[in-house]
Amino acid sequence: MIRPVYIVANWKMHGLPSSSAALARSLGDAVPEHVRLVVCPPFLSVPAVHAVLTGRVDLGVQDVHWEDAGPFTGEVSAVMAAEYATWSLVGHSERRRDQGETDSIVGRKVARCLERGLRPILFLGETATQWVNGETESVVLRQLDRALEEVHDGERLRRALVLAYEPIWAVGSDDSPSPDEAAVVARALHDRLRATGRSQAGDHVPVLYGGSVDAANAAAYATHPDFDGVVVGRASLDPRQMASIIAACAVPRRSDRPT
Ligand code: PGA
């Protein structure tokens, strides 16, 4: 069985609905069979991007609220997003920082995504100080445990969850852990999922690396045995870089694990 490589393009607050649609259209042809490309435009661009996507590219949103509807001005719920998208980013460090999202809020969002049919991409990562102090594993494992506290449907979790390890100090910077350093964290996440019964022999929750991924380094993370792909921020706004990233990561990898 070929193991897919996930490439998640996080466009953050960039692009207009018209330019986002053009960017999405430009990516469709470049996606080989075993690459799962997920583009995550800003909410206002979601319908325009949805209208131009071919079957080779999945649509994701960058966030959802944890309630289905209600007096939450400016918010968008998972049930609304699910009319267009199949994925949602959850707990990105920029939202934890700027919107004050706590682990418990992140957990409610993960649970709601799963209930409403969106696959959550759960972001976990440590600060520069925590990295330097050797606290990375304890920080990301705590974030993982708290984010999954609200999830009671283990089967759905195993089928839908994707984790993204993104060191906060690597996001939007020029610095990043080496693939081998990051892989230690990926292994710790898998071990914790198994130890808590959230992943069992034969299951595989994909773990992605994110933070300063570009055409030069993407393949080293995405094809590392302990990772299943990458999250790309800045570089995902440049169609030529994206084409190079997709080509570099498109290395078929065999696996006995389910996909
Ligand atoms: P970056 O952002 O690739 O620009 O570092 C990644 C992210 O925040 O998802």
User: Is-contact 122 91, C-beta < 8 A?
Assistant: yes
Tokens of 199: 């992943």
Tokens of 134: 């050797």
Angle at 166 (CA atoms; ends 162, 170), nearest 5 degrees: 160
65 labelled catalytic:
no
**Consecutive 10-residue runs of the chain (259 residues): their mean pLDDT?**
90 94 86 93 97 91 98 98 98 97 96 96 98 98 95 87 98 95 97 87 86 97 96 97 94 64
Closest CA to 27 of 247, 251, 252: 247
Residues having CB closer than 6 A to ligand 1 are 10, 166, 171-172, 210-213, 231-234
pLDDT of residue 3: 83
Instruction: Give the span between the Cα atoms of 189 and 141, in whole angstroms.
Output: 7
What is the whole-number distance in angstroms between the Cα of residue 77 and the centre of ligand 1?
24
What is the Cα gyration radius of the chain? Answer: 17
What is the whole-number distance in angstroms between the Cα of residue 174 and the centre of ligand 1?
10
pLDDT of residue 202: 64
Whose alpha carbon is nearest atom 9 of ligand 1?
233
From 65, 92, 101, 126, active-site residue: 92
- Entry pTM: 0.96
Instruction: Give the span between the Cα atoms of 151 and 111, in whole angstroms.
Output: 5
What is the whole-number distance in angstroms between the Cα of residue 210 and the centre of ligand 1?
6
Instruction: Give the span between the Cα atoms of 79 and 92, in whole angstroms.
Output: 20
In the block, residue with structure tokens 């080779």:
56
149 labelled catalytic:
no
Pocket test for ligand 1, best of 40, 62, 162, 212 (most atoms within 8 A of CB): 212
pLDDT of residue 56: 84
